Amino acid sequence: MDIKPGPLLQKIDSPADLKKLNREELQQATNELRQYIIDVVSVYGGHFGAGLGVVELTVALHYIFNTPYDQLVWDVGHQAYGHKILTGRRDNFATNRKYGGLSGFPKRSESPYDTFGVGHSSTSISAALGMAMAAKYKGEKDKKVVAVIGDGALTAGLAFEGMNHAGVADTDLLIILNDNCMSIDPNVGALKEYLTDITTSQTYNKFKDDIWKALGKLPVGKHFSREVASKIEHSIKSFVNKSSNLFEALNLRYFGPIDGHNLTKLVDTLNDLKNIPGPKLLHVITMKGKGFAQAEKDQTKWHAPGLFDKITGEIYKKQYELPQPPKYQDVFGQTIIELAEKNKLIFGVTPAMPSGSSMKWMMEKLPDRAFDVGICEQHAVTLSAGMATQGMRVFCNIYSSFMQRAYDQVIHDVAIQNLPVVFCLDRAGLVGEDGPTHHGAYDIAYMRCIPNLVVSAPMNESELRNLMYTSQLESTSQPFVIRYPRGEGVMPEWRTEMKEIKIGTGRKIKDGEDLAILTLGHPGNFAAAAIRELRTEGINPAHFDMRFAKPLDEGLLHEVFAKFKRIITVEDGTVVGGFGSAVLEFMSQHDYHAEVKILGIPDSIVEHGTLKELQQECGFDAGSIAKTARDMLTDKVRVSTLHQ
């Protein structure tokens, strides 16, 4: 479908074109930009609400600053759609998040305007500060650096670490706090309350604005320096509203809050701040989903709604004649409630993903035993460890990709102390359109090397329930990792009776003669499909669902290596140091000799696309498994063909 931008937007191929517009035209271009995002995302999909919320801010930033010489760093990047459209990617925007198309996030290799690759939150301040310090060192006194960070991302420790350094680094860094009270779900914690206090203090805001205007009219010279003005302003802030001291205490000059949808105010304010030296923070109030009524009302639902009717707001859903399998995350969300109702020691913890992880249902039903701790993965892990020391059984649910940010806590606070925390790693393996920043490619490898950890992966919904049940038993006395993928499972009737699985045991799915296929987790279903195809060709593979990457079922492996000389391992994780590597280690340790092919995510950065496209590219979909088996059995395939 050919979607045309508005007449002004059609002429904007770079920010230089934007700067040619007068104020009235600038507002029209802003309106056209918002409509173009709505038009394209409604048809092609993608993140939605965040981008609409910063349309005016995006236009104002590129209008005032000299990008890409001036460095603009977006935090996370969900909101950078308008930025991409204004920086030469308008005509390719429909390929956003499509296989071979534009990334859904800023990406350095895609455009010089994308100054830093962002997919995980809270990196912008540290990255921008690094750029500002480098500019100062190189003598680029006119270069400006701006970090745009949301109030949700500001809850992460890294953001505070960056601000702590920025306050003493003597750079002209500008931090823009995009405050919409949302990340994906509503924000939580004391920082949210603090920011609310700032935005609702009418006395403070009016008095501060009046004083700033007055100071701006005073002459700067021998008798009235900028330093004196700064001291007066700081004293007034402290006197009128103590809460303003958080940023000021970090030596960041605080400005705002201002209306993030008032384009004229934004342009004028940014123009003023561009000429004020030193580290500073501008507090901007926006609404996620601004300009699309349904997205304004239900901001979580419209974070990434899929395809929808831009007129009625109806979100299109596929219609099925038969019951469909649930998402793994929903099986987790329902099962943890079942377990918690029987085991009063069970708690749930998630870092800012109650909807994405389906922990929201437990938070609603058992609010005193399920917590969203904000974008704070490190805190989530150590909080869980602290609760575990008191006998609690904590299910700490974190996306695989985000768990990377809490790796030290897993080792130091959980594994070394051998505390029975249950890590449920959602979105393990390839995640699709979100691409390399979100793929859960490494957890098998980085968890498998840690002592005391159990590392498991269910092949289906029933196995997920069984692993969750096993992990909370009193007899399970060590940290327990359960990894499962994004998306649907394979069992429409999934509410099976939960049973204990002996830790470190796999299962034989099918017996066979020609070769063995060892699988871990959901890709076992790809292997099952491949085996059905191969058996029609006279090839008879055996299939083993190993269930555990650590500890391995050594008894089962002895059986496999004693019988088979050709073995395929399949996993939706990196082939470097993952499940297949563990099998090779076992083979070497026990002096077995066999031809082993490891299928999984290669040792390279996998870009974005649909799950099927990426699984095929990586070579562990059903077709790739079948092809690998044929290649390993060339002689048998040739004989079978001759007999036909």
Q: Amino acid identity of 251?
A: N
Rounded Cα gap, residues 544 and 557, in angstroms: 10
Tokens standing for 608? 């974005």
Yes or no: say if 615 and 432 are a contact pair by the CB < 8 Å rule: no
What is the SS3 string spanning 69-83?
CCEEEECCCCCCHHH
What is the SS3 string spanning 215-272?
HHHCCCCCCCCHHHHHHHHHHHHHHHCHHHHHHHHCCCEEEEEEECCCHHHHHHHHHH
- Smallest CA-to-CA distance from 440 within 484, 381, 379, 377 is with 484
Rounded Cα gap, residues 17 and 566, in angstroms: 62
C-alpha distances in Å from residue 69, one per residue of 132, 146, 166, 200: 12, 11, 21, 36
Active site residues: 288, 377, 405
Q: What is the DSSP letter of 285?
A: E
Tokens standing for 133? 């310090």
Nearest-5° Cα angle at 265, 56 to 211:
150
Rounded Cα gap, residues 45 and 212, in angstroms: 44
Sign of the CA dihedral running 113, 118, 122, 128 = negative
Yes or no: say if 339 and 482 are a contact pair by the CB < 8 Å rule: no
DSSP secondary structure, 373-397, as one string: --S-HHHHHHHHHHHHTTT-EEEEE
Decide: helix, strand or coil at residue 134. Answer: helix
What is the SS3 string spanning 412-462?
HHHHCCCCCCEEEEECCECCCCCCCCCCECCHHHHHHCCCCCEEECCCCHH
Question: Cα(first)–Cα(last) distance of the chain, in Å?
Answer: 48
Rounded Cα gap, residues 165 and 154, in angstroms: 15
Say if strands 507-510 and 542-545 run parallel, antiparallel, or are unpaired: antiparallel
Cβ neighbours of residue 42 under 8 Å, at least 6 residues apart? Answer: 307, 308, 309, 310
DSSP secondary structure, 191-211, as one string: HHHHHHHHHH-HHHHHHHHHH
Tokens standing for 590? 């026990």
Count of other CB atoms within 10 angstroms of residue 529: 15
- Smallest CA-to-CA distance from 402 within 351, 461, 447 is with 351
Peptide bond into 68 cis (omega under 30): yes
Rounded Cα gap, residues 362 and 346, in angstroms: 11
Rounded Cα gap, residues 50 and 174, in angstroms: 21
